[in-house]
Structure 1
Amino acid sequence: MDLQVFDLAVARGGVPVLEGLNFSLAEGRALVLRGPNGSGKTTLLRTIAGLQPALEGRVEGAGERIAYAAHADGLKTALSVTENLSFWAQVFGKEDISAALQGFDLVDLAHRPAGSLSAGQKRRLGLARLMVTGRPVWVLDEPTVSLDAASVALFAEAVRGHLAAGGAALMATHIDLGLDEAELFDVGPYKAKPRVSAQDEAFL
């Protein structure tokens, strides 16, 4: 099932930021959102992930199919790398974490407490959680923050593997991931026009 967005409008703090959005994301495809800071990319991703309601329109093919990763790594600092991944695997009804450990070069860190990791290592661990969810649609907000070039390459390879297995990825990032197969979607043309309420009109 494709992820489909129909005439979607989204708001931040009650203020419309994007409107008239229509696009679809098929299995095996990646879509990268572009636009300046504050343009509404994060708000759009949060709406698609079901973390906030849409102002107008609808999203289909989302819900329980989505694994969402934002700026926070969502780690339990007292647990080891392995324990963190095992915890999230169990949440999603999975057991095997070996591919996630290998995919994000965490094997040598497997028994280290998450709280002792560097910022980049924590980010890799946070992203490795995606691989244990079993969910087909990854929705990612600036996923490569704190990653060096080698780690960005690891992330890109993980995305490629996910796409090859029939998954899909929707990402907001300013970093070139080297994913030539990814399509670009500029949110700029969908900036919401100021809306005048009936109460405001009374003063015009």
Structure 2
Amino acid sequence: MSEIRLERLTGERLQHYLPDLARLRIEVFRDFPYLYEGSQAYEERYLKTYAAAKDSVIVGAFDGEEVVGAATGLPLAHEPESLTRPFAERGYEVEEIFYFGESVLQKRYRGHGIGVRFFEEREAHARSLGRFRWTVFCGVIRPEDHPRRPKDYVPLDAFWRRRGYEPIPGLIGHLSWQDLDEDHETAKPMQFWIKPLT
């Protein structure tokens, strides 16, 4: 996988790849645990809003000119109250937190260190801004007996802990989307993980 390159996407180059990034998000998030029933139009709108946020970052992973993965980040203050309020209620300064939105990578490219590099790139970006104390992200909470949970499913908890992240007990946000077996959006509980940005 040494031929895979990572690139921070901005400006016209980001605009060029928005449709590919949108398709990638839909493809990866259809799998458990997200089970996301996405639409191309919504995803492109979401990514444009994300790209326009001050101090945000979108990192693309490329095999040649094909985008095979992406990771996003931005100041938590840009996120909705359903994600910022839990931190404020715990006494965190929201302005000191940089939030990782997602990491998505096609299956055949996993297990080769690209996910590690996604974390390194976003942490380096947050550190370069000079005003953040913490990096955080969240993962959906699904019950152990969820009917769509694959028998061979392995949560990413161990991978995240190796990156230096720990879950914050009881610090739960909520995001809404439509599951594959739903006919409308419902709010999903999201467990936050945190790391000091030192």
- Taking structure 2 as the reference length, the TM-score comes to 0.30
Which structure is higher in RCO with an 8 Å CA cutoff and minimum separation 6? 1
- Structure with the larger strand share: 2
Larger radius of gyration: 1
TM-score where L is the length of structure 1: 0.29
